[in-house]
Amino acid sequence: MAGKGFSDQPVCLQTLLGKYNQQYHKLFKDIPPEEMVLKVCSCALQKDLLLQGRLYISPNWLCFHASLFGKDIKVVIPVVSVQMIKKHKMARLLPNGLVITTNTGQKYVFVSLLSRDSVYDMLRRVCTHLQPSSKKSLSVRKFPEEAECESLEVLIPEMKWRKVCPAPGSLPDNIPCIPRASPDPTDSCFTSRKPPGSEKAICEDDQLEEESTSNQQLRLWDSRLLKIVFVIICLLVLSSSYLAFRISRLEQQLCSLNWDGPFPAHR
């Protein structure tokens, strides 16, 4: 899997990836030397500050490196630990971010991606244990199929079918057993099918969640606009009151000047 990084790439791109591969192994010395870089992208890790750096994507690792005040900041994420990848909007406006969640609950927000969709597609190809849960996210497969079992058996030979797939006694009696075509007759796998409409239900839930968040944002903006309009109305009322007061004072002063002036003499 690691040897396929450069095989189908143009010569210029291979040279560039070779340069990035040297940097990759120079920065992350614990990564095995046979691990080849598939894609390198400039981005920023969103923490208390935006840490501008580079994200290195290889078949088994996602590594981020940044330098802040001469200090190296590194993040290493094993591909097998990734539980969810979701598209993210920076400041809820700019669609240039990705959120990566691991099985330990860690959440990494990468923003300022110039080509977010291409990075998302590469992560989708690398994280073969994830499946699309909506148009904007990938999550762990909840219903493993036979193809997944085969890929796991190839990637991790010591994991047999009996470990990956459920045992016959753990399934209900009404689910038929479908034996897997294998030279070893003792190994078998039960294919579990997704309930009808499960993907549609997941998409509907995501749409409802997005609609609820958008409605909350609209209500928040409406409340802010109402507050601003109320403050403007109060300022107008105060200014008009002040002007009326000043006009009345000027009228009083004019009346007092007329009354206090000399009267003309009567002949």
Q: What is the pLDDT of residues 224-233, one digit of tens each?
A: 778 888 889 9
pLDDT (0 to 100) of residue 192: 46
Instruction: Check residues 182 and 239 and name the one with the higher pLDDT.
Output: 239
- Looking at every residue in the chain, the average pLDDT score rounds to 76
Contact 92/217 with Cβ under 8 angstroms?
yes
Q: In whole angstroms, what is the distance from residue 191 CA to residue 46 CA?
A: 41
Quick one: residue 213, left, alpha or beta (phi over 0 = left, psi -120 to 50 = alpha)? Answer: alpha
pLDDT-derived band at 191 (thresholds 50, 70, 90) equals very low
pLDDT (0 to 100) of residue 248: 86
Per-residue pLDDT of 85-114, as tens digits, reads: 999 988 888 888 999 999 999 999 999 998
Instruction: Check residues 36 and 149 and name the one with the higher pLDDT.
Output: 36
User: What token pair was written down for 207?
Assistant: 């749409």
Average pLDDT for residues 207-213, to the nearest whole number? 67
Average pLDDT for residues 148-165, to the nearest whole number? 45
Q: Which residues pair with 85 in a beta bridge?
A: 100, 138
Average pLDDT for residues 229-256, to the nearest whole number? 87
Q: Which residues pair with 238 in a beta bridge?
A: none
Q: In whole angstroms, what is the distance from residue 66 CA to residue 50 CA?
A: 10
pLDDT (0 to 100) of residue 262: 58
Average pLDDT for residues 134-145, to the nearest whole number? 76
Residue 143 makes CB contacts below 8 A (sequence gap 6+) with 192, 193, 194, 198
Instruction: Check residues 267 and 212 and name the one with the higher pLDDT.
Output: 212
pLDDT (0 to 100) of residue 164: 46
Contact 53/66 with Cβ under 8 angstroms?
yes
pLDDT (0 to 100) of residue 154: 44
Per-residue pLDDT of 51-86, as tens digits, reads: 999 999 999 999 999 998 889 999 999 999 999 999
Q: In whole angstroms, what is the distance from residue 64 CA to residue 111 CA?
A: 12
pLDDT (0 to 100) of residue 126: 95
Average pLDDT for residues 42-50, to the nearest whole number? 91
Average pLDDT for residues 113-135, to the nearest whole number? 92
pLDDT (0 to 100) of residue 226: 81
Residue 212 Cα distances to 94, 95, 206, 219, angstroms: 19, 19, 10, 10
The torsion angles phi and psi of 120, rounded to 5 degrees, stand at -60, -40
- pLDDT > 90: percent of the chain: 37
Highest average pLDDT, of 19-23, 220-224, 226-230, comes from 19-23
Task: Provide the sign of the torsion angle of the four alpha carbons 36, 123, 62, 148, taken in this order.
Answer: negative
Nearest to 132 by CA among 202, 186, 232, 65: 202
pLDDT (0 to 100) of residue 94: 85
Task: Provide the sign of the torsion angle of the four alpha carbons 224, 228, 233, 237, taken in this order.
Answer: positive
